Amino acid sequence: MYREAKLPSQKNKPNHIWLVFFTILSLFLIGWYLGLRFGAISYSHQDLIEVLRHPLRNSKLQDVIFDLRFPRTIAAILVGAGMAQAGAIMQGVTRNPIADPGLLGINAGAGLTLILAQAFIGSMHYSLIILVCLLGSTVAALLIFTLSYRPRKGYNQLRLILAGAMIATLFSAIGQAVTLYFNLSTQVIGWQAGGLSQINWRMLSIVTPFILLGLLLAQLFAHQLTILSLDETISKALGQRTLAMTISLLAIVLLLSAASVAIVGTVSFIGLIIPHFIALFVGKDYRKLLPLAAFAGATFMLWVDLFSRIINPPTETPINAIISIIGLPCFLWLIRRGKNL
């Protein structure tokens, strides 16, 4: 059976999983702790402990820490995990080391449909926002993969990148035109810059099930993704139904991307950087890569959200700006590595 096959990605790779896990765990706990304490207003350790002991007490301290910072830190964890896993799945499915939902235009599709919905529908319930983003992500994905797929040859990496860049540019241009025509700058600009300042418990209760479902399904398909990432010929020889598996995995990417975009806006680079960083230590076995990438992505977003609040308080620095400063050098480094990916 193909499930027992020895996968090339498991060979000759040092096992540093526990070291990586505990390092990420330490950064995660520190980032969450600091995220609850610091921001436009900073609180002492004792203040934080008091709120955690009595979370339902009515006070200004409780309003800030429990009702504002707790949901936004949880949202940062979910978005980071979702985007990191979506990027890892994209790279495995397309066998493209620089595939990412943001770089391939999927996030732009979600953004365009959200702008159109703002223009023609107006104020929407958060569950409807997720469905709108999911629709846009699906349309963008269908266009990109249709343009880049060749019968008998599969996905051409260069065509995939070019199609993604073209669709992202087209959708962004249409979105800007609609924004200007309907005078939606106030509603759209903050969302495009990325941020978690509007998150509350009610929004979180709607979005959380979608991301958790995507994370769970991704882990269930992790072994199949490892096989699919090798080569289409090898995957079929091992008995895998590659087309059905590709469609299933892309559906998970769309679910994770749409839910993440609905929370934080159009954010790129997380799905590109994090999986590569984790793969340096655990290889391309997605049973290990996916959960660690999700954990690392969650930790990364916790720190990004913290920096967005403390760089220039009380004004929040756009998340996209912080991620781009980190992501661009990493992207250039990945291109330089090229042949080794």
Question: Token pair for residue 206?
Answer: 């709607």
Which residues are within 8 A (CB) of 336 and not within 5 positions of it... i.e. 6 or more apart?
none
CA 133, CA 109: separation in Å to the nearest integer? 8
CA 336, CA 339: separation in Å to the nearest integer? 8
CA 97 to chain centre: 16
Could you give the C-alpha distances from 243 to 225, 249, 312, in angstroms and in order?
12, 10, 49
Omega before 314 cis (within 30°)? Answer: yes
Q: Give me the residue spans of the domains in the chain.
A: 13-29+67-340
- pLDDT above 80 (res 102): no
Q: Tell me which amino acid residue 96 is.
A: N
**Residue 58 — φ and ψ, nearest 5°?**
-85, 110
CA 12, CA 283: separation in Å to the nearest integer? 9
The mean of the pLDDT values for the chain is 83
CA 318, CA 321: separation in Å to the nearest integer? 5
CA 291, CA 288: separation in Å to the nearest integer? 6
How many Cβ atoms sit within 10 Å of the Cβ of residue 46?
8
Cα Rg, the chain, nearest whole Å? 20
CA 240, CA 130: separation in Å to the nearest integer? 32
Query: Which runs of E-coded beta strand occur in 149-205?
Result: 149-150, 154-155
**pLDDT tens-place string over residues 120-173:** 887 787 778 888 888 988 898 888 888 877 766 666 666 777 888 888 889 989
**pLDDT tens-place string over residues 282-295:** 888 899 999 999 99
What average pLDDT does the segment 257-267 reach?
Answer: 83
Least confident residue range of 101-105, 226-230, 249-253, 297-301: 101-105
**pLDDT tens-place string over residues 188-244:** 766 666 678 788 888 888 889 999 999 999 999 999 998 888 877 777 777 788 778
pLDDT at 337: 66
- What CATH number was assigned to the domain covering residues 13-29+67-340? 1.10.3470.10
Give 213 or 329, the one with higher predicted confidence.
213
